[in-house]
Amino acid sequence: MQIIPAIDIIDGKCVRLTHGDYSQKKIYNERPLEVAKEFEGAGLQRLHLVDLDGAREGKVKNWKVLEALAGKTSLVVDFGGGIKTEKDVEIVFESGAALATIGSMAVKEKETFLQWLETFGAEKFFLGADVKAEKLTITGWTEQTDIWIYDFIEDYIQKGIKQIFCTDVAKDGALEGPSTDLYKNIIQKFPKLNFIASGGVSSIDDVYALQDIGCTGVIIGKAIYEGRVALSDLKKLNR
């Protein structure tokens, strides 16, 4: 299983939100590079980097943090938050990201996103689906859609997307356990998909449970920062 630690950035600092609420912000480290080096030192190979300033303002803001982390570690970084234009995509790749993480744009600006797939290649994008009761939510979870998660995944698999992660908004940052039933249903419907779970992990047992149902990876944030999951335990699982 691929272990993907998460770093969320506000004002250049490593933070975590609860349920995506900016008013429920907790600063964990003012130097994200220190955190990234800890992950690298534990033998992890990936990093999920989220520009929360960019997500809120609608344009990439913390590209210098990306540049530092990608340039000074060996981590394979996916970067999301505020990617709205082709220029934003270019900035992200030029700053060292291996993958651009896209969520709402794949719903709200589908034609634009499809053009990016053509221009840069579908393998360069990490598609995120935020879900509430199996329907997509977008724009920082402020808009509920009628789009069924399974239809969304089917559509983009046909467009060449290889990696998809799914976050149950009711679980994210709450340390209440992941949505294993939802993920099990997705994996059963799309057994060849490189499917990555996100949100709710509260213990190493949660990680094993996700591995057991067939998730190829898991994004973990707050559980690491709160000491619920030890990096040494994750190293044993990572591949």
Neighbouring residues of 117: CB distance < 8 A, sequence distance ≥ 6: 125, 159, 160, 161
Q: Are 136 and 147 in contact (CB under 8 A)?
A: yes
Q: Are 168 and 133 in contact (CB under 8 A)?
A: no
Tell which residue, 174, 162, 229, has the closest CA to residue 199: 174
Q: 78 an active-site residue?
A: no
Q: 168 an active-site residue?
A: no
Catalytic residue among 51, 53, 78, 130: 130
Compute the distance between CA of residue 163 and CA of residue 175 in angstroms, rounded to an integer. Answer: 24
Q: Are 92 and 66 in contact (CB under 8 A)?
A: yes
CA distances from 171 to 17, 75, 201, 233 (A): 12, 26, 8, 22
Residue type, 69: L
Catalytic residue among 8, 53, 78, 172: 8
Q: Catalytic residue positions?
A: 8, 130
